[in-house]
Chains A and B, each alone.
Chain A
């Protein structure tokens, strides 16, 4: 039972354009949402997060949007840079079950110079 889904396994974007990565979840009890970036041979590194009381959080080139009614999370990267090429995972925490992450399946982003 996949509670967190990233329906696009891969995405290619031209340098300087916007990258939009999407994530859908099924459980309305989820209350803290994160995006992780993963390079080959490295562990996931934290990128940006948002709590369920907000609908937008911005950090530099990265913005996360949360639509609770649609159970949808998205990450916008603008402008995209070649160094952003990596696999991006959305990860969701459910506060009442401790700090167990539910991860999506990942989207491989390629930014073309």
Chain B
């Protein structure tokens, strides 16, 4: 049973470009959340998707957008990249009906984005 998988693992982009990061949730999970972890910081909540809709959003600009597909996988898109967008982007998956506990939310290994 595959856990949460993210791709790509590392990528380098130029300022002003656009990037798409991908996440496949753990089998049986229907909810995907995205977090940004800058160097030396804790993960910051970007948004959460359920039933192909954005259910909740953190304090991130509209340059950050997402999508969830019918198979529950998700994409995070960032437009007009800034140097400050360089970070580890984490995906977390869960099953909404299972409620929230440490045992019901799983994180992927993350995608390292470097903006130069």
User: In this complex, what residue of A is CB-closest to B10?
Assistant: A41
Q: Which residues of the other chain, B, contact A100 by a CB distance below 8 angstroms?
A: 33, 45, 48, 56, 58
Tally of chain B residues near chain A (CB < 8 A): 27
A48 CA to B103 CA, complexed, in Å: 9
A93 CA to B94 CA, complexed, in Å: 14
How many A-B Cβ pairs are below 8 Å?
Answer: 65
B102 touches A34 (CB 8 A): yes
User: In this complex, what residue of B is CB-closest to A4?
Assistant: B42
B43 CB, min distance to chain A CBs, angstroms: 5
B105 touches A46 (CB 8 A): yes
Tally of chain A residues near chain B (CB < 8 A): 29
User: In this complex, what residue of A is CB-closest to B94?
Assistant: A99
Instruction: Report if A19 contacts B (CB, 8 A).
Output: no
B40 touches A43 (CB 8 A): no
Chain B 93-116 interface mask (CB, 8 Å, partner A; 1/0): 010000011110111111000000
User: In this complex, what residue of B is CB-closest to A49?
Assistant: B102
The 9 closest A-B pairs by CB, nearest first: A103-B42, A43-B107, A46-B102, A49-B102, A99-B100, A103-B43, A100-B45, A34-B102, A105-B42
